[in-house]
Structure 1
Amino acid sequence: MYKTTVVVDGMHCSMCESQVKSLVMKILPDAKLSASHRKGTLTVEGSFIPSGNLLRKALKDGGYEVKDISTEKVEKKLGLFSSLFHALKSA
């Protein structure tokens, strides 16, 4: 699982957050997206590393500027029931 953080210039309100997510959802329909106008960030989570060029183009076409993109690999945490299932399975 990968978490990509995109620093976006031009988000001023919750409607901007929705628009930014909508723009990226068109090119990455399987990604989990979250946006914060206060932090000026868009977070993309998925089993892949998204193309920085595609993200920049999609957001630029919507009137936003990408200032920075960083990606990190994250371990998917198991939920309570998944943890119990794996514990019982290995017992």
Structure 2
Amino acid sequence: MWKYTIQVDGMMCGMCESHVNDAVRKAFPVKKVTSSRSKKETVVITETELDQEALQAAISATGYDVGEIRKESWQKKGLFGR
């Protein structure tokens, strides 16, 4: 699985975070997406690699500024995910 951390400027409230999350969900089959206006970032967890240009375009289309996109391998941690 993959974790993408995207710098997103311009989110001011919870609705802004929701708009970005919805745009990502509509554009890609993701496992999880969370946005934080305080951290100015969106984190996407997915089973497949994403087209980073398309990811940037999907978020930019909502009116927010997209900066750096970092991709890293991700494994679920928890009670059974050793």
Task: Please state which band the TM-score falls in when normalised by the shorter chain.
Answer: 0.7 to 0.9
Task: Quote the Cα distance in structure 2 between the aligned partners of 1:60 and 1:34.
Answer: 16
| Aligned: 1:56 with 2:43 | no
Deviations 1:2-56 (A, max 9, x none): 1100000111111100000011111113331011000010000011221111111
For normalisation by structure 2, the TM-score amounts to 0.87
Letter of the 1:62 counterpart:
T
Higher helix share: 1
Work out which of the two has the higher radius of gyration on C-alpha atoms and give 1 or 2. 1
* Length, aligned pairs only: 82
Q: Secondary structure at the match of 2:30?
A: coil
Where do 1:67-82 residues align within 5 Å?
67-77=67-77, 79-80=79-80
| Unmatched segments (≥5 aa) in structure 1 | 84-91
2: distance between equivalents of 1:31 and 1:50?
12
After superposition, the CA RMSD in angstroms is 1.7
Q: TM-score normalised to the size of structure 1? A: 0.79
